[in-house]
Amino acid sequence: MNTPSSLESLIEALRCLPGVGPKSAQRMAYHLMQHGRPGAQRLADALQLALAALRHCQRCNTFTESETCVRCLSSKRDASLLCVVETPVDMNMMEQTHAYSGLYYVLMGRVSPLDGIGPGELHLDRLLARCGDGVVREVIIATNFTNEGEATAHYLSEMLRSRGVSVSRIARGVPVGGELEYVDAGTLAQALRERRPVAG
Amino acid sequence: MNQRHHVDGQPAFVLHAYPYSETSLIVDVFSQDHGRVALLARGARRPRSVLRGVLQAFQPLELGWAGRGEVQTLIRAEWQGGQPLLAGKSLFCGYYLNELLIHLLPREDAHARLFSVYAATLRRFADGAQESDLRCFERALLQELGYGLLLETDAAGLAVEENAHYAYEIEHGPVRLPGPGRSARSVSGRTLIDLAREDFSDPRSLAEAKQLMRTLISHYTGGRSLSSRRIFRELHEL
Ligand SMILES: [Zn+2]
């Protein structure tokens, strides 16, 4: 097949997206060029703008356009609480709970030994510096309940505890409104292992 | 290898999973009767996929798959239970076992005995992983791969003596030395005997066995550095 070189480099460029193989990259490229030209232009402009404007907040590591993000600057947040999450999406989920008024640190990943991702790759030294500012008193670890999320939590708790910061981990268990009949067995087994005394 | 497989109700563990397309995973699996297989888990990355939570490493599963060629298609996955989730140091030791299996076990070679050693090791990890568990697993792995260690007789065919010193020559066995050796392959007779009996109550035997196993594993993995080991070490350097 004879593909023009600009089309070929577009296909190649699209493959940098997660989970996009050669076939879907080709489909996307054809779509953008044939039916989606205005959309393609918007995409190109937005990419250029984001590349120029976005950076990581120096305090919480999430994306922002200024040196420090709006949330980190807010006087309404409790700066003694720091919640560590894997991604900005997880941070948004935590915000939706309306149950948390502290600040965040976004790891932008997780420890994954078999993918070669450790503390160096995650720049955990930056989190450590953040926790050592004298203001943070409790760190709440809200990484995923996967093996990688647990490995990350273990790393963080070891690292922080040795520096005198109090560390907690969000609890897991049966979902709110969950009927045992419909809960998966793995969740139920873990909820049973992590049972706690009933107050009263 | 190109025959069509249809497997069901197969006890297995996930060793590692890689994202495939936007919605699917390739899962590297260690199964009881078919050894290591690569399975395509269609839709496993979709938000509401049932597979998403089930295909976790270190949990006993029952899998069904079909297809031909290098990557077959996962049809069914059921969580079996009985294995508490690994946490802390045990979790990192679990990653180490998986990395060894990924690097050393060829695909589609049945190793039912090693499978049961692996499952038993993970069960012990649930109460806290011990170094001796790692040494026993490494020994079982090398044995299964046909690199079994010569521990009770030396390379010259003589019984290993507790108070003698040896250098372990890969593929030949322990070669007796006139005095204590200084290389990574130097071991005391006591360590060899303890390793054969899987008795690690003597700290020196445990330390020497670790060094010896590390040298052997590095040889058989072609000198590849294991990232699970590096990342666990970095934890203590923070
Ligand atoms: Zn911020």
Question: What is residue B82's three-state secondary structure?
Answer: coil
Name residue, tokens 């008795």: B199
Same domain, residue pair A159 and A100: yes
Question: Is A118 among the domain residues?
Answer: yes
Q: What's the CATH code of the domain at A15?
A: 1.10.8.420
Nearest-neighbour CA in chain B from A74: distance (Å): 31
* Separation in Å, CA of B27 to nearest CA in chain A: 13
Q: Which residues contact A157 (CB under 8 A, 6 or more apart)?
A: A141, A167, A169
For residues A89 and A131, state if they share a domain.
yes
Cα torsion angle, A182, A185, A186, A190, sign: positive
Residue A93 sits in a domain whose CATH number is 3.40.1360.10
- Which residue of A18, A21, A147 is in closest CB contact with B91? A147
From chain A, pick out residues whose CB is under 8 angstroms from the CB of B89.
154
The pLDDT, as a whole number, for residue B2 is 61
**Does A33 lie in the same domain as A83?**
no
- Does A193 contact B at CB distance below 8 Å? yes
Q: For residues B228-233, give the mean pLDDT.
A: 89
One domain for residues A84 and A164 = yes
A39 and A93 inside one domain: no
DSSP letter at A68? S
State percent of chain B over pLDDT 70.
99
pLDDT for the residue numbered A54:
94
Q: Supply the pLDDT for residue B78.
A: 94
What chain A residue is nearest to B97 in terms of C-alpha separation? A114
CA distance A172 to chain B (A): 12
Residue A48 and residue A87 share a domain: no
Of the candidates B24, B34, B121, B122, which has an alpha carbon nearest to the alpha carbon of residue B74? Answer: B24
pLDDT along chain A (200 residues), means of 10: 84 87 90 89 94 94 95 95 96 95 96 93 90 91 95 92 90 85 86 84
Rg over alpha carbons for chain A, rounded to the nearest Å, is 22
Q: Which chain A residue shows the shortest CA-CA distance from B24? A: A19
More confident residue, B50 or B74: B74
Q: What are the chain A neighbours of B86 within 8 Å (beta carbons)?
A: 147, 150
What distances in angstroms separate CA A194 from CA A142, B85, B187, one per listed residue?
17, 11, 44
Closest Cα partner for A94 from A160, A143, A147? A143
Instruction: Name the strand (E) or helix (H) holding B7.
Output: strand B5-19
Query: Which residue type, as a one-letter code, is found at position B144?
Result: E
Boundary of a domain, candidates A13, A35, A53: A53
Size of interface A-B (CB pairs under 8 A): 90
Residue of A nearest to B87 (CA): A150
Residue A152, in any domain of the structure: yes
Model confidence at B67, in pLDDT bands (50, 70, 90)? very high
Range of the domain at A161: 79-169
Dist CA A83 CA B119 (whole Å): 35
Q: In the structure encoding, which two tokens stand for residue A184, read together?
A: 């998966």
Q: What is the Cα–Cα distance from B147 to B149, expressed in whole angstroms?
A: 6
Q: A114 to chain B: which residues are within 8 Å by CB?
A: 16, 95, 98-99, 102, 227-228
Residues of B in contact with A22 (CB under 8 A): none
* A98 and A142 assigned to the same domain: yes
Calculate the CA dihedral of residues B99, B101, B107, B110 and round it to 10 degrees.
-160
A180 in a structural domain: no
CATH code, B5-79 = 2.40.50.140
Give the count of domains, chain A. Answer: 2
Q: How far is CA A140 from the centre of its chain?
A: 14
Q: How far is CA A36 from CA A8, A27, A33, A155, B208, in A?
A: 17, 12, 6, 46, 65
Beta bridge partners of A82: A103, A139
Residues A45 and A88 both lie in one domain: no
pLDDT of residue A1: 56
Return the CATH number of the domain spanning residue range B88-237. 1.20.1440.120
Domain ranges of chain B: 5-79, 88-237
Contact residues on chain B for A143, CB-CB shorter than 8 A: none
Select from B8, B33, B7, B28 the least CA-distant residue to B18: B28
The pLDDT of B136-151, averaged and rounded, is 94
Q: Among A19, A21, A119, whose Cβ lies nearest the Cβ of B234?
A: A119
> Cβ separation of B238 and A116 shorter than 8 Å?
no
Nearest to A114 among B54, B85, B228 (CB): B228
∠ Cα A17 A20 A21 (to 5°): 135
Long-range contacts of A6-12 (CB under 8 A, 24+ apart): A7/A33
Cβ of B95 and A190 within 8 Å?
no
Residue B238 has what pLDDT? 62
pLDDT band (50, 70, 90) for residue B223: confident
Judge whether residue B195 has pLDDT over 90: yes
Residues of B in contact with A117 (CB under 8 A): 231
Tell me whether residue A132 is in a domain. Answer: yes
Domain for residue A107, yes or no?
A: yes
- Of B24, B81, B231, which is closest to A113 when you measure between CB atoms? B231
Distance B217 CA to ligand 1 centre (A): 45
A83 and A49 co-located in one domain = no
Return mean pLDDT, chain B.
92
Block residue for tokens 């008024």: A101
**How many C-beta atoms lie closer than 10 Å to residue B176's C-beta?**
15
Per-residue pLDDT of B6-57, as tens digits, reads 999 999 999 999 988 778 999 999 999 999 999 999 999 888 888 888 999 9
Angstrom distance (rounded) from CA A104 to CA B146: 51
